[in-house]
Amino acid sequence: MMNQGAKKAGYVSQPAATDPRSTEAWALSEASRRLVVAAKTEDGGKSLRDALILNQRLWTIFQTAMAEPDCPLPREIRDNVLALSIMMDRQILQRLGDLDGSKLQPILDINRCVAEGLAMKPDAPAAQPVQANLAQPLAAPAVGGTRMAVNVSA
């Protein structure tokens, strides 16, 4: 059951599972949902700014976790997530600069790809290996003319 704090924050749902991967996948999906809703809200960009800042905070949490000396993930995965974080930082800062909700697709794509990968069971076969199999490198959307392969398996 959703707690009062989550309700006040405007969360539509929260993960039932206590496993961190599910929680992280949900957080990315929720951040994306908020971005989409905010892009359609006519309030002078306030909702979009708030949604972008929320997304930035989420990615800052990921960056911090990847930089911890005792992070249990393999070095390659940490480096890939950090590289994605840098791409996300650039995209978010650009959107905060112009508050153009029509240019959110790279942010939404990265959030979606990582959330899909996190939602998969590590040993489960993937229905769509390019987007969801965490054992395979994940092709991130082209951002600024650069395409990266990202492996976020754990």
Residue 8 has pLDDT above 90, yes or no: no
At residue 7, the pLDDT reads 44
Of 65, 145, 143, 70, nearest to 110 (Cα)? 143
Residues 119/22, Cβ–Cβ less than 8 Å: yes
Residue 128 has pLDDT above 60, yes or no: no
pLDDT digits (tens, 9 = 90+) for 71-94: 999 999 999 999 999 999 999 999
Residue 147 has pLDDT above 80, yes or no: no
Mean pLDDT of the chain: 78
At residue 121, the pLDDT reads 74
Q: Which long-range contacts (CB under 8 A, 24 or more apart) does 116-120 make?
A: 116/25, 117/152, 117/153, 118/21, 118/22, 118/24, 118/25, 118/28, 118/152, 119/21, 119/22, 119/25
